[in-house]
A and B are shown apart, each in its own frame.
Chain A
Amino acid sequence: MSTRPSSSASTHRPRPSSSFTRSPLEQLVYSSVPSLAPPRTHRGTIDARSGRSSVASSRPDSRAEVDDEVEKERKERVRELMEWCEEIMESRLPSSAPLSASILPDTAKRILLQSSSRTDGRSASRQSSRGESSASGSERAMKFNGIWNKLEKGRLLSSPLPHLQFLLSLSEFNPNNIPSKPIPSSASSVTGTSSSRSMPPPPQPSTFPSTQPRSSRQPLTGTASANIPSLDFDVKGKSKADVLKAWRTSKSQKPFPPQLLLRDTLYLLQGIDGRYVRFALRPPREQNPYLTEKGRAGEGVGFPLGKDGAVPSLEDEGEEGETVGIEIVADQNKDGYISKPTQIILMQLSEMGMLYRQVTDFINTRQAGEGKGGMTEQSLCHFLHHELSEYHRLLAVLESQMNQSTPADAEQPAEGAGLTLMRLGLWTEEMRLKLKQMNLVVDEAKKVHGGALVSKIHKHTNHGDPLIRRFTDQILEEVSKPFFATLQRWIFSGDLHDPFNEFFVQLNPETVSLRDGRISPAGDVGFEGGMDSGGGTDEAHKVWEKKYVFVKSMVPGFVSEDFGKKIFSTGRSLNFIRYSCGDSDWIETQAKLANAGRALKYSDLAGLERSIDDAYSIASQRLLEIFFDKFVLLEHLRALKSYLMLGAGDFTELLMEALAPRLSKPAISLYRHHLTSDLESAIRGSNAQFDNPDILRRLDARILEYSHGETGWDCFALEYKVEAPLNAVLDNKAMLDYDRLFNHLWRLKRVENALTSGWMRVTSGSRVYEKIPGLSNDWHHCRIVQSEMVHFLRNLQAFYQLEVIECSWAAFIDFTEKREGDLDALIAAHREYLERVVRKVLLLSSRRDKEEVLLDAVRDALDFILQFRDATDDLYAWSLAEATRLDRERDAERGLYTLPTTDSPTLSSNQLTSIRQRIKTCSNSFQDRLISICHLAGSHTDLDVRFLAIRIAWNGHYSLRKSRSGVVAGDKASGRSGRG
């Protein structure tokens, strides 16, 4: 439907530009008022048409002066006239044409048809002087059709409609022109003709021209037989409505004057109570007729509208005093009756008034500052305001239509001219839909705000009605403006400017204190940083992780969640660069972003995605660059790997050597300054001294919490200190993991060390006790078990260093070389790397309750190795003592003087038995553990760990032994492995 075409069309009128060619307006003036036209020649025959020039011509002597004077006066006059005309042209007269331009030809035809009677009775002389309008109305209508068709087909005019409108408004037949005619008796003639009309105009069905195709109407009204159907109609009898009308008339109930109803309706449309019809308010609960008896909705009581009326049980929702319908307060007996269909139309029309009221209420309350506020709401109000002014303009046009048609309608209500309730409904149809939509949006705006509101509105863009869809797009364009402003600021400067919490990124309420605090890198993180610096180190991670939160419910509908995350990350990266990485970085980043900045708006979603993608990649690239280049993250990670995961063998060896005597003592006798000095000497002595001093100064030795009876081995830890912003990646949790790793690997190293030194001693001293009878078997057994242990430790360490740590590291390096994703991706990659290492080094099982079964077994095995070493040491000492005793005995036999021995052979043999017992127990336990370790690792969920089992038991030795021991002492072995 294309309504309201004309009221604003006059704004761009061509202005006269050159002085030589006259403006059309001037031409028009000369053409219609010939007496003002300029003389043709400058001074020749003064135009005879000019009244005053004839006077001048009688006096030839003063002719020139008079001419000048006349010319001047004429020009003055023309100028005045022109000004006046321009003023008219620029004014916004209410359009006289019907709202729908497409019904113009029909209007013209109708006027022509009616004209026959009107002009016949009036001015025959004028018609005869024109010489052609003696034809009857229908003939003229036919002729009009012919010309009109020709004009419509012609391509020269852009559209013939405005021309027709122009001609029509000048036409003498136009009823509007009659009073304004210069004929003084026009007013009386109108009344005269209407009263003395002999033949009523053919009753046209009140038509909806735009709903009926033109072609179907053509034969009815376009031909001379236009009257015939109406005649048939009369013959056939009257419609029910007519019968009812006749009955009412017989009961002396005249119909209610429609123009009064119309005026009231126009009031209703503005949300104002009319004189006869007004809005019904929701009655207080006790007076509500619907609550007690639903069927009481009689005439004039009030028409329930919408959901409230349909579902009375929901009435608690509404407030008292809310508009629920309309109420007809006219005295129907006095003024006339209002038929039921009319009431229904009134009710339907008044819906708009109600909607208007609600929308206006919303705007008013928001402007009064009673709402939650918010930029989205403000822009919504702005848009609604604009739309409502459109609505007001429409109402003004309608009103002017009504004023024009009032005199005609007074006598012939069924006539199609002017405004009727039906037309009102038709012409406001579009507006009604818009108002409905606005009301919907307003309802939503009361509940949610900000991004949620935008996404609520966005849901309507999938509406089936293209009109609604377009309208919603308009709303969205306006409403999303503040959103995009915030967005722009967020993704281009990392600044969250959102005073009303409307954006989908919000400051985390828990960490508001971090908002402005610029985290400066702590100056002293050296050895003296101390254990108490742990409080401050977590900040960068917290800033990155917790400073802003992503509020999913606030993401507008047109931004997908992934995309929203991208936006979130972009702004977060920028913010992080800005506040946590130092000024120079920020300036560089800003320079890079400068050319990515573009105006964002709803209608350009593709451009939005592109610019956000750009900003995202720039920001995250930049942040990664800062991390890798400025803060040498990789160097730190490498240091962690080589020092905390014992990758640097020489350093570890030296440290172990230096610390071993101290750590063997009880934990209580440990002092940190001893440890740190040992650490320093280990660094000096190893390749670590060539490492970056910045990294070395972060290395620190620490004593963990210890309980009574623990040795230094249990509570020693190497520490690596990180500060902001590095601890965004190396957060507390990661450092804890590193600690766990160090703890385990350190223990392994220590056991290996102990075993190696024990083996060295035993091997070098073997000459001494070789000759002792009865011991070779024991030593042989010891050596076998020892080598088994060495084999186990070697394989375990090789597995850790080669299979686990280096492989994970390689995967991590692969990721960092690509430099994709944002800081989140980096953090995730590091975490994955660390988790992989931890899981495999600590041999964690995926089963939740038995996570550390294998680790416990390994630890037990390590403990048994230590015990075994002690036992072998004892055996070694005993062997030495025994060797000495035997030597002495031999000396005594040879007659040499010897000191009397205190220890008796029985005592020493007792000792030997206990030592043998210990060794046996230890080796048995160790072997049992090893079997169960192999078994557990062989069935581990992790393939790499299974591979470890294969490495240790590469020739099937342990499975063989297991089955053998299973046969010999089945219950014992299975009991152990079952326990493990």
Chain B
Amino acid sequence: MSSAQDEARIQNARETIDSLHDLSQLLQTGLDKNTLSICVGMIEQGANPDTLAAVIKELRREKELLKAQKADQP
């Protein structure tokens, strides 16, 4: 494997993630790039998109909860 090929691959991957990020922006999913790339990785490995979405929603709820706690505490 030459490094040029690797580079092309990396470039390609970056572009794909960028496109997906654009898409996510377009659909207003509210995912940042980091989270998105993790999710993309998981889906590529065969995770069920629906359940993953449910997980994200759960996590968001958790975040809101934490925020509320934080707001309560001080």
Which residue numbers of A lie inside 8 Å of B, CB to CB?
Answer: 6, 9-10, 12-14, 24-25, 27-29, 31-33, 35-36, 51-52, 55, 81, 84-85, 88-89, 91, 93, 95-97, 108, 111-112, 119, 130, 132-133, 140, 143-144, 147-148, 150-151, 154-158, 162-174, 180, 182
Cβ–Cβ contact B56 & A170, under 8 A = yes
B61 neighbours in A (Cβ, 8 Å): 182
A29 neighbours in B (Cβ, 8 Å): 59
Chain A: CB-nearest residue to B25: A132
Once A154-B15, A168-B27 are accepted as A-B contacts, the answer to whether A52 and B57 lie under 8 Å apart by CB is no
Cβ–Cβ contact A166 & B28, under 8 A = no
Once A14-B45, A51-B69 are accepted as A-B contacts, the answer to whether A85 and B15 lie under 8 Å apart by CB is no
Cβ–Cβ contact B63 & A9, under 8 A = no
Q: Which of B35, B46, B67 contacts A32 (CB 8 A)?
A: B35
Cβ–Cβ contact A169 & B19, under 8 A = no
Cβ–Cβ contact B35 & A89, under 8 A = no
Cβ–Cβ contact A173 & B52, under 8 A = no
Cβ–Cβ contact A88 & B55, under 8 A = yes
B62 neighbours in A (Cβ, 8 Å): 33, 81
Instruction: Report B29-72 CB contacts with A as 1/0, cut-off 8 Å.
Output: 11110110011111111111111111111111111101101100
Cβ–Cβ contact A31 & B26, under 8 A = no
Cβ–Cβ contact A162 & B60, under 8 A = no
Cβ–Cβ contact B59 & A162, under 8 A = no
Q: Which of A28, A95, A119 contacts B38 (CB 8 A)?
A: A28
Q: Which of B27, B39, B50, B57 contacts A97 (CB 8 A)?
A: B50
Main secondary structure of the interface of A (DSSP, over half): helix
Once A28-B59, A31-B38, A89-B48 are accepted as A-B contacts, the answer to whether A147 and B23 lie under 8 Å apart by CB is yes
Cβ–Cβ contact B26 & A112, under 8 A = yes
A147 neighbours in B (Cβ, 8 Å): 19, 22-23, 26
Cβ–Cβ contact A84 & B58, under 8 A = yes
Distance from B42 Cβ to chain A, minimum over Cβ atoms (Å):
5
Cβ–Cβ contact B52 & A89, under 8 A = yes
Task: Report the separation of the CA atoms of residues A84 and B50 in the bound assembly, to the nearest whole angstrom.
Answer: 15
Task: Report the separation of the CA atoms of residues A143 and B26 in the bound assembly, to the nearest whole angstrom.
Answer: 8
Cβ–Cβ contact A182 & B48, under 8 A = no
Q: Which of B29, B54, B63 contacts A172 (CB 8 A)?
A: B29
Complex A-B: 15 CB contacts under 8 Å: A14-B42, A25-B42, A28-B35, A81-B62, A133-B28, A144-B23, A144-B26, A156-B13, A157-B16, A170-B24, A170-B27, A171-B27, A172-B28, A172-B30, A173-B28
Task: Report the separation of the CA atoms of residues A10 and B64 in the bound assembly, to the nearest whole angstrom.
Answer: 27
A51 neighbours in B (Cβ, 8 Å): 66, 69-70, 73-74
Cβ–Cβ contact A32 & B49, under 8 A = no
Cβ–Cβ contact A167 & B29, under 8 A = yes
Once A51-B69, A112-B26, A171-B28 are accepted as A-B contacts, the answer to whether A163 and B40 lie under 8 Å apart by CB is yes
Cβ–Cβ contact A93 & B39, under 8 A = no
Task: Report the separation of the CA atoms of residues A132 and B27 in the bound assembly, to the nearest whole angstrom.
Answer: 11
Cβ–Cβ contact B59 & A32, under 8 A = yes
A157 neighbours in B (Cβ, 8 Å): 16, 40, 44
Q: Which of B15, B26, B54, B58 contacts A140 (CB 8 A)?
A: B26
Chain A: CB-nearest residue to B65: A33
Task: Report the separation of the CA atoms of residues A173 and B27 in the bound assembly, to the nearest whole angstrom.
Answer: 7
Once A140-B26, A167-B29, A168-B27 are accepted as A-B contacts, the answer to whether A35 and B55 lie under 8 Å apart by CB is no
- 11 further interface pairs, Cβ-Cβ under 8 Å (given A13-B45, A35-B63, A89-B55): A28-B56, A32-B35, A33-B59, A55-B73, A88-B51, A88-B58, A158-B44, A163-B40, A166-B50, A172-B28, A172-B29
Q: Which of A156, A166, A171, A174 contacts B39 (CB 8 A)?
A: A166
Distance from B58 Cβ to chain A, minimum over Cβ atoms (Å):
6
Task: Report the separation of the CA atoms of residues A95 and B56 in the bound assembly, to the nearest whole angstrom.
Answer: 16
Cβ–Cβ contact B63 & A14, under 8 A = no
A55 neighbours in B (Cβ, 8 Å): 73
In the A-B complex, list the 8 residue pairs whose CB atoms are closest, starting with the nearest.
Answer: A10-B48, A166-B49, A171-B27, A169-B53, A51-B70, A170-B29, A172-B28, A165-B49
Q: Which of B23, B24, B35, B49 contacts A148 (CB 8 A)?
A: B23
Distance from B63 Cβ to chain A, minimum over Cβ atoms (Å):
5
Cβ–Cβ contact B28 & A162, under 8 A = no
Q: Which of B13, B20, B35 contacts A163 (CB 8 A)?
A: B20
Task: Report the separation of the CA atoms of residues A156 and B13 in the bound assembly, to the nearest whole angstrom.
Answer: 7
Task: Report the separation of the CA atoms of residues A931 and B28 in the bound assembly, to the nearest whole angstrom.
Answer: 119
Chain B: CB-nearest residue to A97: B50
